[in-house]
Amino acid sequence: MVIEPKIINLIDQIDLKILSILQSRGRSRLADIADEVELSAPAVMERVKKLEAGGVIKGYQALLDGKKVGKDITAFIGVSVGHQGDIDKFAAQMLKYHDVLECHHVTGDESFILKVKSANTGSLEKLLGEIRSVEGVTRTVTKVVLSTAKESQTLELNEGLAENSTAKKRVV
């Protein structure tokens, strides 16, 4: 059984269109979004605030080209943690490293997969040393990215999501 977050019950086709616009053109003016979804700017603002409050929209940020700001190396680091009790401690430690962009607790051979962007191999080597010294770490496996064919934070928004939420609203 799949448990869906409660906010899904509140999303409709207009919300999906607003989310799609914000994902692709985050700097769009509310008036422009309102024109596209055929609502007033205050109505769009109210919907955006609801989506923010519900945690659907987690924040806003500019997407930077790492190489153009001195972060030339992208790597994925698999980290094995020896004891289950050290899992939360390790995750908390990763919050302090700015070069660690993502930290995922995963299944498989490793306990965690980290996505890092570092200035050069020297700074990556230093980071690896620091990660290996975290209590409970038993092994790391590093894969340095040679080139990137696709990198995105954009989620596909399935129209069925709104259809399902509309159906649920009617049943309730």
Rounded average pLDDT over 102-115: 97
43 and 71 inside one domain: no
pLDDT for the residue numbered 82: 95
170 found inside a domain: no
> Does residue 167 lie within any of the structural domains?
no
Four-point Cα dihedral 125, 126, 128, 131, nearest 10: 180
Residue 118: other Cβ atoms inside 10 A: 23
Identify whether residues 51 and 88 lie together within a single domain: no
- pLDDT tens digits, 3-43: 445 555 679 999 999 999 999 999 999 999 999 999 999 99
What's the pTM value of the predicted model, to 2 decimals? 0.81
Same domain, 5 and 35: yes
What's the total number of domains in the chain?
2
**Residue 160 resides in a domain:** no
Structure tokens at 104: 């995922």
- Same structural domain for residues 107 and 77? yes
Can you say how many angstroms the Cα of residue 24 is from the centroid of all Cα atoms in its chain? 15
Can you say how many angstroms the Cα of residue 31 is from the centroid of all Cα atoms in its chain? Answer: 27
Bridge partner list, 74: 117
∠ CA 161-156-65, nearest 5°, is 150
Statement to judge: residues 78 and 96 lie in one domain: yes
Does 34 reside within a domain? yes
Asked if pLDDT for residue 114 goes beyond 80, the answer is yes
Q: How confident is the model at residue 165 (pLDDT cuts 50, 70, 90)?
A: low
CATH number of the domain enclosing 135: 3.30.70.920
Mean predicted confidence (pLDDT) in 59-83: 95
State the helix-helix crossing angle for 159-171 and 13-24, rounded to 10 degrees: 150
Is 149 part of any domain?
no
Instruction: Tell me which residue range forms the domain holding 128.
Output: 66-144
Residue 128 φ/ψ, nearest 5 degrees = -60, -40
